Amino acid sequence: MTFVYTANPPASDGEPEVENDPWFPAITPVEVREACMLDGTVTPARLRQALLSALDSVNEELHAYRKAREAEGHARLAEVPARQLGGESVQLIRYRRAVLACVQSLVAEAHREIDTVPHSDGKEGRIRERIESKLQEHRRVMRWAISDFLGLPRHTVELI
C-alpha cells in the first residue's frame, strides 16, 4: 500500500494579493492555486515570487500591444474589442492562460531538484524525463497563448 501526502493549500485569506499592472487583469494567488492545482507544497512566498515573475514576463512581451491599444484609447485590456467566450473577452482568457502556464513552468522548474526522486532501477531518469516534459508543455502553452493573443501563427520547432 502506498501513502501519498499532499499538503493542504494555505487559507485563501492567508495569501497576500499580488498587484498587477492596472491595464492587465488581476490574477489572485487563490485563482492560480485552483487553476494550476497547486497544493501547500508551494508556499505562499514561492507562489508570490512565481506569480510576480510570470506577470512581469508576460506583461513585458505584450508591451507593444498594450501601447498600441492605449493609443487607440483603451484604458484597460478588458475594454479592447474582442470575441467573447463565456461572457468574457478571449484576450482576457489568453492573457490568463499565458500567466498561469508561466507560473506552472516556474514552479515546476523550482521543484525539479527536490531530492524525493527514487534512485533505483532507472526510476530517477524516467521521473526527471517526465518533469522535463511537463516543463516543456507549460512553456509551449505559454508561447501559444501569447501568439494567440498577438494574432501570430503558432510555431513548434524541434532541433534534431
pLDDT of residue 33 exceeding 60:
yes
For the chain, percent of residues with pLDDT exceeding 70: 82
Q: How far is CA 50 from CA 1, 54, 105, 114, 160, in A?
A: 35, 6, 9, 17, 31
Record the cell numbers describing residue 10, joined without a space.
494555505
Record the cell numbers describing residue 46, joined without a space.
514561492
Q: What's the confidence (pLDDT) of residue 118?
A: 59
pLDDT of residue 1 exceeding 70:
no
Tell me if the pTM is above 0.85.
Answer: no
Name the CA dihedral angle for 21, 154, 131, 41, rounded to a multiple of 10 degrees. 20
Domain positions in the chain are: 12-150
Give the pLDDT mean for 74-89. 96
Lookup result for grid cell 520547432: 157
Confidence of residue 113 (pLDDT cuts 50, 70, 90): low
Confidence of residue 132 (pLDDT cuts 50, 70, 90): confident
Confidence of residue 158 (pLDDT cuts 50, 70, 90): confident
Contacts of 16 (CB under 8 A, 6+ apart): 29, 44, 48
Please give the Cα distance from 160 to 148 (Å, whole number): 26
The closest alpha carbon to 97, from 47, 133, 148, 63, belongs to 148
